[in-house]
Structure 1
């Protein structure tokens, strides 16, 4: 029932870097600075580091669970929780990954509507992105992994464009440092939860990695790269905007693209948003693959059929959200769900798995 994939469907261990890093750098980086600055001012950069360290620890915990179980999340649930209780937890994660895909999809549609095409209905953009995602996910994990790799390559050149706001920034915006309390800084770390989510998909694609022991090094490097990108982005934004300006700036990174100046190109932010399709669509594909793969493992249904059903639900849910407030609520809700689900559940599953394996070892002498 829970057979491991054949080797010709696997990917090399180093692709764990791209799968983890790509999932963490998506639509959230376009406007995360405003949210964390509300909680801890310009000391929020400390929260970025603290949240990153917590993510490293949780990823290590996930690998401990996976090494013992030597399979994916659905199989581990069945092994340590039984068919019915384990199945219920697997269903929860199907819903979780589907909600994650919905959050990414609807937020990017919101960006396109606000900045590029305000007259186009959300369902049109949602439909186009859903069809694109479907075409990639049906190709399997190897195709999705390649898309994640290309997503990083195609968007890498956007990072050096921070040169333009750095030129006009003022480091004294961040002074005096450390003028916020520890609870406020911890709140800003919590505010980073949605941005660092996505690494938990390792629980689904782990069996598809060759040399699984070596893959942890690459996965941890992926998290470290994400921390550096968020830290650099936040510091540049904090140096350019004062706190009053940042409170009124919903999409800080997009606003910074407006000052990019090339003699042959005006309104670079339009191009930046278009290019960022390669920053968001791979993440949507990977979450949909994770949801449909888990559903396929749990029920007697092909992964293609599972994907079709999940995409239909995601499409309908996305079309029901018409206002910026609803999209904001969706992001906040997903952030809270991830913040409490992943740390608490991984820790409890780790403890329960260790207890079950210890009892079995004693029973078998």
Structure 2
């Protein structure tokens, strides 16, 4: 496996698109229930946990960019191979693949469960899985630019949903936030920030798409803008949920973000929450497409496996796994495992790589001098 990647100009994209890549990879199934999880940890001060997590997101982006810029045109797979050797690098790369597989499966299972609860209780899991995986395969076959185009288009097709939150805002009770820092300790706030991890997993895609960005000098602004916008949306739904629901209601509401849509109605649409759940599919499709591409790209880099057979095998394994896990308990366990693994891989592991890269860089400079 080569450390640096050589690309044809037709396979790369402008740095501008990194905003959409990062944001749409982060916003998905996690944001549907994040207010409840945060309130269970930090109470009415959960919004502070979101701000803490947002600051750490920007620090993580800085670390990732520093690691990537230490090489000419490489991704995390090539960097691990350079730092740890061929075989250890492949083992670490395979760990990334397994983690991303869990992430795709978790996104699928959480959305399918939401559809069954809100709209079609009798819909078979296999039918919904087959539909979602078909869209994923169709998009990834088109290549990296089609994958990015999917994130770009679906961002604009769904971002207007954030505007509908104005209705619940009119019913907010600001006394739910008072007194600040009364119901939580600093440790509770940090634990709440850790719980945000699952909702913002996907940031690691930066470590994979970096070689596909043309004007790398302009990469910082869209990368930080992407995580800033993600933080803003999570903060928005958290603040509105705390203000709208009573503390006991929010702790009992699994999908608080989607429940906010229940009070929204129009003259031609009485149950807007049905529409919101259906449209949420366009929120998670970029998740599936981007993460699926990461797996196919990684297997190609690590073991030189052909693209289409790898993609079909991935879809088959996801399909089998999705119909195997049926009950809510299983989905919760899958989500918890993915969240915990993702926290260490996305938000802790980059520090380890950063230190090694910086030490190696200084050692090489001393050797040259």
Identify the match of residue 75 of structure 1 among 62, 71, 78.
78
Contact persistence 2:203–2:346 (CA under 8 A): no
Distance 1:18 1:173 in 2: 34
1:140 is displaced (CA, Å) by 1.3
Any gaps of 5 or more consecutive residues in structure 2? Answer: none
Whether 1:330 and 2:334 are equivalent positions in the alignment is yes
1:170 is displaced (CA, Å) by 1.2
The CA RMSD measured in Å over matched residues stands at: 1.2
Distance 1:81 1:6 in 2: 28
Distance 2:117 2:6 in 1: 44
- In structure 1, the partner of 2:197 is 193
Identify the match of residue 61 of structure 1 among 60, 63, 66.
63
- In structure 2, the partner of 1:349 is 353
Where in structure 2 are the equivalents of 1:128-207 lying within 5 Å?
128-179=131-182, 180-207=184-211
- In structure 2, the partner of 1:276 is 280
Contact persistence 1:292–1:306 (CA under 8 A): yes
Where in structure 2 are the equivalents of 1:45-56 lying within 5 Å?
45-56=47-58
SS in 2 for 1:76: helix
1:355 is displaced (CA, Å) by 2.5
Aligned length: 365
Provide the TM-score with structure 2 as the length reference.
Answer: 0.96
SS in 2 for 1:168: coil
SS in 2 for 1:258: helix
Contact persistence 1:52–1:223 (CA under 8 A): yes
Provide the TM-score with structure 1 as the length reference.
Answer: 0.97
Identify the match of residue 255 of structure 2 among 251, 254, 259.
251
Decide which moves more: 349-358 or 280-289. Answer: 349-358
1:352 is displaced (CA, Å) by 1.4
SS in 1 for 2:70: helix
Contact persistence 2:68–2:210 (CA under 8 A): yes
Contact persistence 2:11–2:212 (CA under 8 A): yes
SS in 2 for 1:172: helix
- In structure 2, the partner of 1:16 is 18
Distance 2:123 2:69 in 1: 48
Q: Deviations over 1:46-73 (max 9, x none)?
A: 0001011111101110011111123111
Whether 1:121 and 2:124 are equivalent positions in the alignment is yes
